[in-house]
Structure 1
Amino acid sequence: MHCFRFPHSIKTSHTKMRNPSFFSSFFFLLLLSHKVTCDSHCDPIEASDVDRVQFAMNLEFLEAEFFLQGSLGQGLDSFAPYLAQGGPPPVGGAKANLDPVTYRIIEEFGYQEVGHLRAIYTRIGGIRRPLLNLSAQNFEAIFDQAVGHKLQPPFNPYRSTVNYLLASYLIPYVGLVGYVGTIPRLETYNSKSLVASLLGVESGQDAVLRTLLYARADEKVVPYNMTVADFTGRLSGLRNKLAMCGLKEGIMVPKELGAENRTTSNVLSAEVDSLSYSRTPPEMLRIIYGSGSEYKPGGFYPDGGNGRIAQSFLKKD
């Protein structure tokens, strides 16, 4: 478990930022992380390979439904309904107003997530699709929580390309860091090879999304008086606050946190040694539930996640 520590050499007066607005966003993120300590909330959990991989299906279902709905206006039930294992259809998803390039990317991501679900189902065994909340109102609540006030008009992820990319920033990254944390805990070759292959694609998806956002970092998100960098900084801060285990993301950083202390970009999410961050299942649940507690479902999962790991926390509530 890698806990964030403030670098001894941070000198904010000499750190060149790409955009002044990012300066406030980054230190908002740091202030949130400063309140976080690494304790038992951040310890790895004990679980079987099957349970660990099936836990990841909760995120794969979310990604599949969000990307398919956003690009095609249809979900998993239109492409591979058997993978849902009788789980309820998601609520609130919609086709997004995407530019042609982003549309093609998100469509590809959606099909990739169907493949991920099928690979797990075939090699490990599947779980029932949990109830998912993809509504604009759910994203509105998340973004309001991230920025610290009610946005007017309410944030709608399906309104534009940049809105959808910002909403996407919330999702694949959580699966990516979850897989990084899972692999060292796996025992069998079958599980390791499967998750390593899943991680490769998840990290690629996250890198593409972060690159698209970084290219727009200084762009104002209409009609708000905030840039893309502002929003990503606030969303990163919220994820770290909810997870309670340190600073683990951001598309822009001061040089003291950049690769070899030579860059302010963090297009590929990494810590000071350019290694991927990891998260445990409880950290992931705190984020995707939006409650800061693995025992209190909500957010994208109104009834909580499925599989033994997620259900074990709900039974303890």
Structure 2
Amino acid sequence: MSERILDEVVKASPNRRKFLATLGTATAAVSAMALASPREAEAQTSSPTATEIAVLNFALNLEYLEAEFYTYGQYGYGIEQAGLKVSGVAYGANPPGGGTTTGGAKVTFSNNLVFTGPITSEIGVDERAHVTLLQSFLGSAAIAKPNINLTALGFGFGNQNEYLQLARIFEDVGVTAYGGAAYLLTTPIVIQTAARILAVEALHVGSLHTQIARLNVPSPVLDGADLVPPPTGPQNQYLPVNTANGLPALRSVPQVLALAYGGAGLTQGGFFPSGINGAFYGTASSAPATAANLQTIPPGFAPAPA
């Protein structure tokens, strides 16, 4: 992890010692490559680094959340009942056998004008696949599903419009989270796979924005970097892209946690009542993202090229 970002995250965390110990353990495992035979070392060069393990596990928290949301909306039960593995490394009050999910319910899709039922069902297939894919990359380092509250915002499953509102939030945050962490990845196969997941999340975003605009569904604005579709947003902009540079926003881990936990300076709450799992457990949420996150090179992310 870049020194600047690592220092920022550790300083923001009330559990600095545990964060450093966790990351240090992963670093030691990666450093052991230096003692391996040439053939063994070559076989390990496609494995995630310690930094990537932390980033991929952070992403896995979000994928668990999305997968639970879509699975409950379609079937009325969660991903464990759908056959997915939910056990793994756990922190705090999150159990290693997989956390409890509250608030989910099956949704009635009353208006099929823009294929909301079939499309969100397809998105659910994708999100469950992302959980399994990240688990396979992480192996024994994969985190367990944390405790999740799907109705942390007070809506989501009451009707089709609520479901679209929350789906839009999850997918937009997912795009900005993957984009925000991209420069911390160094292993080619990890970079390539993360880019492909980001592409899928972006496809989801485009579809959901179009549905919301067509059905005239209001969209709560998350923060200063959130570009919402009509009718809430500008009437002539349907996609969450800064038209000045053709790019979406980026959000850092603490900025994503500000949305996940429901405010700044928090280490749990909102969608993750016991906090997230992984090396970023105990990291405090920051102030929300601003319009500066839509710049070509937002402050606090990768430095400008020399």
**TM more than 0.5:** yes
> How far off is 1:268 after superposition?
2.0
Match status 1:90 vs 2:101: yes
| Bigger relative contact order, structure 1 or 2 (CA pairs below 8 A, ≥6 apart) | 1
One of 54, 59, 81 as aligned partner of 1:78:
81
The alignment yields a C-alpha RMSD, in angstroms, of: 2.7
1:226-268 superposed Cα distances (whole Å, 9 cap, x missing partner): xx3xx31xx21xx21xxxxx434222499xx98xxxxx43322
Runs of 4+ off more than 4 Å = 43-47
In 2, Cα distance between equivalents of 1:279 and 1:113: 20
* Alpha-carbon distance between aligned partners in 2 of 1:103 and 1:253, rounded to the nearest angstrom: 21
CA-CA distance at 1:83 after TM superposition: 3.6
The answer on whether the counterparts of 1:253 and 1:265 sit within 8 Å (CA) in structure 2 is no
Structure 2 unaligned segments of length 5 or more: list them.
11-49, 89-96, 286-306
What residue is the counterpart of 2:273 in the other structure? 302
Aligned to 1:164: 163
Deviates more, 1:64-73 or 1:305-314: 305-314
Which sections of structure 1, spanning at least 5 residues, go unmatched?
1-39, 141-155, 218-227, 241-245, 259-263
SS in 1 for 2:153: helix
Kindly, what percent of the aligned residue pairs are identical? 27
CA distance in 2, matches of 1:45, 1:185: 13
Task: Kindly provide the CA deviation profile for residues 112-169 of structure 1, in whole angstroms up to 9, marking residues without a partner as x.
Answer: 111101111112332111100024xx332xxxxxxxxxxxxxxx43222112111222
The TM-score normalised by the length of structure 2 is 0.68
Quick one: structure 1 residues 44 and 313, their matched pair in 2 at CA, closer, same or farther if it must change by over 3 Å?
closer
State the partner residue of 1:195: 194
**CA distance 1:124–1:265, shift in 2 (3 Å):** farther
Cα distance in 1 for partners of 2:269, 2:281 equals 13
Q: How does 1:166-315 map to 2 (within 5 A)?
A: 166-217=165-216, 228=217, 231-232=218-219, 235-236=220-221, 239-240=222-223, 246-252=224-230, 264-271=235-242, 272-293=244-265, 295-313=266-284
8 Å Cα contact 1:288-1:301 kept in structure 2: yes
Q: Which whole-Å CA distance do the structure 1 matches of 2:283 and 2:104 have between them?
A: 28
Question: Are the aligned partners of 2:76 and 2:104 in contact in 1 as well (CA < 8 Å)?
Answer: yes
Answer whether contact 1:55 1:310 (CA < 8 A) is retained. Answer: no
The yes-or-no answer on 1:127 pairing with 2:98 is no
> Which structure is higher in helix share?
1
Query: How many residues end up aligned between the 2 structures?
Result: 228
Tell me the TM-score normalised to structure 1 length: 0.66
